[in-house]
Amino acid sequence: MKTEILKAVEGLSRALPAFASQAETVEKIALELLNALKNGHKILVCGNGGSAAESQHMAAEIVGRFRRNRRALPALALTTDTSVITSVANDYSFEEIFSRQVEALGEEGDVLVAFSTSGGSRNVLKAAEAAARKKMKVVGVTGPGGELADKCSLALKVADPATPRIQEIHLLFVHIVCELLEKELA
């Protein structure tokens, strides 16, 4: 077991410098979210599986708080309403579960943060397309492949091939962005 633990820690240690080299991209994303929030807009967040958990985590930190007491900020994870998700999946298709919500809830000036470790999740890609049609900004948080980054105005691409390392960097991204937002909005 110890060997596996050390391999995981070493893998994350290798992924961190590549993430650090994207500090400017993370800053641009934080500024995009900050601009939306300062102008009365909201943040919508989506993803599947572990990325759904990241989506919910990000929305929770924005609505609640990360480290500082402050006013509540508008963010919504599109992964939480099982009635909406199952009705859309049943009546349309699973590929539409996020795009239908973006169509219903998104407005020009809002930001969609789309998580996908593969960059190829069809429902996340369709959400990005729906957000673009509504003149929303689209931020992609992804791994090394797929189409997602190409559909976004800003994208953080984690170059590591291992899904667990990508998700760990995504969590670090969420925490950094939430800390930056709070610093500016507290």
pLDDT of residue 145: 87
User: Could you report the per-residue pLDDT of 148-171, keeping only the tens digit for each?
Assistant: 999 999 999 999 999 999 999 999
pLDDT digit string, tens, across residues 58-86: 999 999 999 999 999 999 999 999 999 99
Q: Please give the structure tokens belonging to residue 120.
A: 């190829």
pTM: 0.96
pLDDT over threshold 90, residue 31: yes
Query: What is the chain written as a DSSP string?
Result: -HHHHHHHHHHHHHHHHHHHTTHHHHHHHHHHHHHHHHTT--EEEE-STHHHHHHHHHHHHHHS-SSS------EEETT--HHHHHHHHHHT-GGGTTHHHHHHH--TT-EEEEEESSS--HHHHHHHHHHHHTT-EEEEEE-SSSSGGGG-SEEEE---S-HHHHHHHHHHHHHHHHHHHHHHH-
According to CATH, what is the number of the domain 2-185?
3.40.50.10490
- The overall average pLDDT reported for the chain is 97
pLDDT band at 29 (very low <50, low <70, confident <90, very high): very high
Average pLDDT over residues 108-131: 98
